[in-house]
Every structure is written in structure tokens, then in C-alpha cells.
Amino acid sequence: MGSEILSPLSAPEPESAGSEQAVVRSTEPSPASQEQPLWARLSVTDWIVLVCLLVLFGPMFHALYALWSDPQAPQAYGLLILPAALALVWMMRSRLVGVPVQPAHAGLIPTALGIGCLLLGTTINALTISGFGFVLTIWGVVLTRYGWPVVKKLWFPLGFLLAMVPLPHEFLNVITFPLQGISVKGAALLLTPLGDVMTRGTRIFLHNYTLDVVAPCSGLTIVLPLFVLSLYYLYMVDAPLWKKGILVLLTIPVAMAVNAVRVALIGVVGEFYGATAADTFHDYSGLITVAAGFAVLILIAQEIKCSHISEEITL
């Protein structure tokens, strides 16, 4: 009789232990969920946050688009920075598989600071401060939602967003004039086969045409995009840091050299075909010059064995 009472009491013990183990296991991230890419783990809350960010920073991007849409603006490439950063995250998707999601409340600090910068920049009409606020906010949101493991993996795409922040006009003015002088001297040297070439200030005097090397021709519109493009490329390359450093240092002289060629070609077109043709060539030669400068850097990268794309990048 006693055994009949004890047997049903003793039988459930392993079941209760198993149920406790099941409860413990259920609180741990499942392997299947960890193998999903981050964008597959987006919740309804995540989408709401994204929509709120679009609404919050929409006016800032509208103002930035007006700045970027000017082809002669030094940072006209800013329009491509956010898509380029998102494309890099996509190319890094193999690195993100299996990364644990560990939300961190510390991300609320840069988020709040970023929104504060947006409000301040909007109040005083300073796009530099507003743009920096956007970058801070994105860092904060990613840290809050995904945690430090994901931020460490995505440090470059997140940092690359700084390239879209407009540089202060005071800084641009300081570096523009020296670049103008270099461009004038380089172009005048290349134009010497055409005959007597005189320079005065930022002007180059040819026989039939006077070339005024104004701010957009100073080389700044070549140096900045080429520098940003080089950083983007070098991050994807698997090579020693010192080789990458060499290419970064070569960016400025290469940019100034190809810009001097561009200015000289504008002078040649103006000399033989007139001012209208020179103006047309000037307007459409900027992008070609950036491409030519990048091609030169690629050739140098191949020579020093710094052109192998990392296996962690999926093109």
C-alpha cells in the first residue's frame, strides 16, 4: 500500500527536472535565430524607430540634398555616402551571421546627444552640427538595439557616415587657396608647349584664352571625393596597414596631379575651341577626373600588392 503511494510521487521527479531545464534552455537564443542576418531579426519596434528617424531627420536631408545637388560643391559626393554605407553592410553580411544581439542601454546617450545636435543645428541653421547629430543618433540606435558586438563589426560603415557631414565653410576656405596655387602652377607647366603662358594670381593667360582657376577648379572637388573613395576601397582590401597608409598619403598628390591635368585640358579646349567649349568641358570633367585619380591609385595598389579584396567582403 505504501509503495503504491510512493511510486506516483517519485515518478514525476525527473519530469520536473526536465521541465526546469526546458525553461532554462528557452531563455537562451536559439541557434537558428543566431544564424539569421540582422535585418531578418527586425521587429515591429525596429521599423517604427526607422520611420521616426526618417521623419525626424527628413528636413535635414532635404537641406543637404540642396547642397549635394550642386555638381561644383566640394562634397557633392555626400549624396552617395548613406547608400554606400548600407551597401558595405550588405557586403559584410557574412561577418554578421551568428553575431549575438545584446541590446545596451548605453546607446541612449549618443542617441539623445544626436537628437540634441539636430535641434541645435536646426535652430542656428548649421548643417554641420545637424549632420553630426544624425551620425551620433545612428550609432546610438544600433548600440541600443544590437549592442557592442554588432557595433564592433560595423565600426567602419558607421564611421563612414561622417563623410556625409558638411565641412565648415571656414575650413574649406582655408584649404582652397593653397590648392588653387598648386593647380595654377601645375596646369601652367603642362601648358608651356602651347607657347608663352603667363600666370597672375589664379589666372592663366594663353594666346587666345584666359583661364581663371576659381574655387571649384582648385582641386578640392577632386581631393575630398578621391580621399573618401580610397578609404572605402582600402577597408575592403586585405593588406598590411602600412601599405594602406601609403595609399592614403598618396591620395592628395595624385588628386592634385590629375586636377592639374584637368585644368590644363580646359585651357587647351579654350585655346582652340573657345570659351563656350571650355565651360562645357569644365562642367563634365570633374567626375572623369575623380575616376582617373582612382584608377591611378588602383594601379599603385596593384604594384604594391594591396588590391586583394578581403574574404569577409561578399561582392
Q: Enumerate the domain spans of the chain.
A: 31-166, 172-303
Per-residue confidence (pLDDT) for residue 41, from 0 to 100? 63
Residue type, 314: T
Q: pLDDT band at residue 284, thresholds of 50, 70 and 90? A: confident
Q: How much of the chain is helix, strand and coil, in % rounded to 5?
A: 75, 5, 20
Average pLDDT of 202-208?
Answer: 90
Residue 73 Rama label (left phi>0; alpha psi -120 to 50; beta): beta
For residue 103, give the C-alpha cell.
Answer: 541590446
CA dist., res. 202 & res. 270, Å (int): 16
Q: Does residue 3 have a pLDDT over 70?
A: no
For residue 17, give the C-alpha cell.
Answer: 527536472
Average pLDDT of 288-300?
Answer: 94
Helices (H), 36-80: 44-68
CA dist., res. 88 & res. 52, Å (int): 24
Per-residue confidence (pLDDT) for residue 18, from 0 to 100? 46
Across the chain, what does the average pLDDT equal? 86
Per-residue confidence (pLDDT) for residue 39, from 0 to 100? 59
Which is higher by pLDDT, 195 or 158? 158
- pLDDT per position as a tens digit, 111-128: 999 999 999 999 999 999
Q: Does residue 220 have a pLDDT over 60?
A: yes
Residues near 240 by beta carbon (within 8 Å), at least 6 away in sequence: 306
Q: Does residue 136 have a pLDDT over 80?
A: yes
Q: pLDDT band at residue 141, thresholds of 50, 70 and 90? A: very high
Per-residue confidence (pLDDT) for residue 61, from 0 to 100? 94
Of 31-40, 94-103, 128-137, 207-216, which gets the smallest average pLDDT? 31-40
CA dist., res. 99 & res. 149, Å (int): 7
Give one DSSP letter per residue of 178-215, joined into a string: HHHHHHHHHHHHHHGGGS--EEETTEEE-SS-EEE--G
Q: What percent of the chain has pLDDT over 70?
A: 87
Average pLDDT of 74-90?
Answer: 93
Residues near 154 by beta carbon (within 8 Å), at least 6 away in sequence: 89, 92, 96, 142
- pLDDT per position as a tens digit, 4-52: 444 444 444 444 444 444 444 444 445 545 555 565 666 777 788 888 8
Which is higher by pLDDT, 99 or 269? 269
Q: What percent of the chain has pLDDT over 90?
A: 59
Per-residue confidence (pLDDT) for residue 312, from 0 to 100? 84
- pLDDT per position as a tens digit, 233-273: 999 999 999 999 999 999 999 999 999 999 999 999 999 99
Residue type, 104: A
Of 159-168, 195-204, 240-249, which gets the smallest average pLDDT? 195-204
Per-residue confidence (pLDDT) for residue 214, from 0 to 100? 84
Per-residue confidence (pLDDT) for residue 151, from 0 to 100? 94
Per-residue confidence (pLDDT) for residue 46, from 0 to 100? 77
| Residue 60 contacts residue 134 (beta carbons within 8 Å) | yes
Q: Provide the pairing of β-strand 210-212 with 203-205.
A: antiparallel
